[in-house]
Amino acid sequence: MPWELKTALGEDVIRLGRHRLNVIRRVENVFKPQPKTSFAKVAVLEASPYMRNQLLRETDWASIAHSLEVRARLVGALLLRRKP
């Protein structure tokens, strides 16, 4: 947790890690174009790094482990960009 960092790492390591991670820039890059509502912002965050890096990977791992065919259909960026 953030309040435990100082006991585990030195100030210089923490500062360097935060600089390299550059979380603010990464989140800003997800929000292009800028969503208009709070709901849309949460939806973009869930559909971008969380779904891609967490949910899809874990679903793939668990399905392969049990010899199941599980595919997340219609998750392509082109489809998500289309307007109704």
Q: Average pLDDT for residues 68-84, to the nearest whole number?
A: 65
With contact defined as beta carbons under 8 Å apart, do 43 and 30 qualify? Answer: no
State whether 22 and 44 are in the same domain: no
Give how many domains the chain has, as a whole number: 2
- In angstroms, the CA 80 to CA 47 distance is 10
> How would you class 35 by CB atoms within 10 Å of its CB: exposed for 0-12, middle for 13-18, buried for 19 or more?
middle
State whether 26 and 65 are in the same domain: no
- Regarding pTM above 0.85, the answer is no
Which residue range(s) make up the domain with 46? 35-84
DSSP letter (8 states) at residue 2: G
3-class SS shares of the chain: helix, strand, coil, % to 5: 70, 0, 30
pLDDT band of 82, cuts 50, 70, 90 = low
